[in-house]
Chains A and B, each alone.
Chain A
Amino acid sequence: MTLAGTVRRLAARLIPRRARLEAEHTTIQDVETIPRRRLTLVIGLAVLLVTIPLITLYLLLILSSFADRMLSGPDIFEARYSLENWKLLFQGKLEPAAAQLYTPRDLLVIIANTFIVALGVTAVVIFTSVMAGYAFSRMRFWGRRRLMEFMILLHAFPGVALIIAVYAIYVWSLSGIPRDVLTAYRFTYTIFARAALEIPMSIWLMKGFFDKIPWEIEWSAMIDGASRFRVWWQIVLPLVKPGIAALAIFAFLAGWEDLIYVHVFLYTGGIKTLATFIEEVIGNIETAYLPIAAAAATLYLLPTIVFFVLTQKLLLEAMSGGVKG
């Protein structure tokens, strides 16, 4: 379901006649999970209650992006609102310093860089862990248990401590790279290094999803003469779409929000992403003009929300038929 779709559905609830039709439809669709509308109401209210602080925080952030200062609650009626921050952001006048001096930046390039890293990490993570997760779930090989255990324990090593050494390897490998592909190499290295951090977790996640698929499905396909690879590709993969959706969310976000790896490998080469850019704007909290950061942050949130909603749709679609075994 797209954002627009959600809005439309929510709007429909407010209109009595359409709401009744809609309710009828939902009742039929979800008869097995939702027997009573009162249940939704009770759970909904409970969740809303714990969500209030979250809603407050994000409303303040979005309001701040239109205001002349960072808002913290009581001052929302005293601030002056305009589109000034957003205008500055899109004009690329992104770092207002004292005396309104601006350093011009190309926002489109920054956004494109962010997408390259995020989508790159997503692709690498999905490709590697969907393969490995299948092997761990379905195949017998030497050291299977130990390797799986080792994988989760790898996570105990802080990324901070790793990066010292990852950086050393990077510097060492740079000497062999021709100048004209240096930028491409920087991106590639960042993507692979960042993806590597996500892979152990993703393999664990995928294994859990592969485990849920009945063995009979594979047996019957293999008896029919399909190769192991074909079974994996054509039969099993479509069944783990919800898992891939969850994986994609985490991988995309990891790439999209990464600060440390991007900072070390790309920023030193003059390549910026939204995250490093925002970090730069906030810089010194005492002197920075923060509403611009609020605007940049709001902008930063939009693609992640769209991506999340899209993967959720995939998740629902994939499972609406249930697993047929």
Chain B
Amino acid sequence: MALPKPRVNPALFFLIPALTLIAIFYVVPLFLSIYISFTPLKNWNIQKYLGEVTTYNYERLIHMIRYDPDFGMVVKTTLFFVPVTLLINVLGGLALALATFLMEEAVSLPTRVLWILPRMTPVAVYSLMWYYFFLGDASGTLNNLLMRLGIIDQPVNWGNDPNLLPYSAWTILVIVNALVGVSFGMVVFYSALRSIPREHIIAARIDGASTWQLVRHILIPQLRWHLIYVTVWQLLSLLTTYTHIFLLVKWGAVHKYWGSTWALYVFNKAFEAEWGSEQGLAAAAATILVIIGSVLGLIALRILGYGKMMGEPRGEL
């Protein structure tokens, strides 16, 4: 259709509000932060340190990755935490969405409400609940339950017991974060399932499809875009998440290093005095995280077929 093109692309009108906000609150701060990673900024002393430019932070980080055992624990924790939690979040979210979609609404809605609760709970309270759940003495919920069932006879210090580390601490991190993450997949997939035209499902049923065939051949193929979206989004979220475990580490409910991910390390390094309050180093660690995240995100998009999903719009008139 060879109509003359308008002088100003109408897409601009639709894009400007979003792009303006992203530029002011995302792109500009992003570059400012990268700049800070090249300064020796400490204790928020902006006047004193912000003028210097040095690569010392990056040299130190590389040195720490190779020789510092504490930082090594943080790296290993991140390497375990991200893929395992991602798998649970995506598959668990999909399973929950399908289950609630197939259930009757009177059961489905309360179930969805229950599973979104962790996301809605104030972070401090959520941490508090898990703190008591995994508490190391006999009054901890898990300890008490296991002792009553006769499975253990001594209370176990789940987050810190040297015999169980690092796996017990890692399990706690995964459970605490997965329960928050699963609801994201559930809400997105459920909305997507709901927006599949009912005619498709009715037609499949008339043709005699079983529930499994319906799920396998009708429902899941329609979720392709949403699956890519949730996977990549959750991958990047997990790389940078720290809030839900921040207090657990602070309160000593999990081991200081076996319970810390790279993102939490960044936060603690920048804001917590006992971890050093070195914003320059924190910004450098954050920048490395960004680079890793960008590369992983790009690879994930390629593998999952982003190019095909972003096919040209075919309806230009």
Contacts and interface: CB of A to CB of B under 8 A. Distances in A.
B133 A72 contact: yes
A275 B125 CA distance: 9
A199 B283 contact: no
A120 interface: no
Given A152-B301, A209-B195, A46 B294 contact: no
A305 B315 contact: no
A144 to B, nearest CB: 8
A151 B179 CA distance: 26
A253 interface: yes
B109 interface: yes
Contact of A208 (B24, B192, B232): B192
Contact of B26 (A6, A154, A274, A279): A154
B201 A32 contact: yes
Interface residues of A, number: 123
Interface string A114-154: 00000000001001110110110111111011001101111
Nearest to B17: A128
A253 B267 contact: no
A267 to B, nearest CB: 14
12 contacts: A72-B139, A73-B132, A73-B145, A140-B11, A154-B30, A156-B290, A160-B266, A169-B24, A197-B25, A204-B229, A278-B125, A315-B191
A46 to B, nearest CB: 7
A180 interface: no
A157 B102 contact: no
A152 B22 CA distance: 12
A72 B132 contact: yes
Contact of B18 (A26, A132, A253): A132
Contact of B96 (A6, A47, A132, A300): A47
Interface in A29-54: 30-35, 39-40, 43-44, 46-47, 51, 54
B128 A242 contact: no
Contact of B294 (A51, A139, A153, A205): A153
A54 B118 contact: yes
A140 B133 contact: no
A157 B30 contact: yes
A88 interface: no
Given A169-B29, A322-B199, A43 B317 contact: no
Contact of A196 (B15, B21, B130, B283): B21
Contact of A275 (B19, B122, B236, B317): B122
A34 B210 CA distance: 10
B32 A135 contact: no
Given A201-B233, A246-B188, A259 B194 contact: no
Interface string A54-94: 11111011000000001111110000000000000000000
Contact of A218 (B148, B192, B290, B315): B315
A165 B33 contact: yes
Interface string B116-134: 1111111111001111110
A319 B19 contact: no
B292 to A, nearest CB: 8
Contact of A35 (B106, B114, B115, B205): B205
A279 B124 contact: yes
A46 B187 contact: no
A1 B124 contact: no
A208 B225 contact: yes
Given A54-B115, A155-B236, A275-B122, A131 B106 contact: no
Contact of A131 (B17, B26, B141): B17
A305 B236 CA distance: 27
B162 interface: no
Contacts of B51: none
A57 B125 CA distance: 11
Given A155-B237, A259-B243, A168 B32 contact: yes
B21 A192 contact: yes
Interface string A203-227: 1110011011001001100100000
A87 B279 CA distance: 43
Contacts of A203: 18
Nearest to B107: A44
A61 B192 contact: no
A266 B8 CA distance: 40
Nearest to B21: A196
B26 to A, nearest CB: 6
Contacts of B225: 208, 211
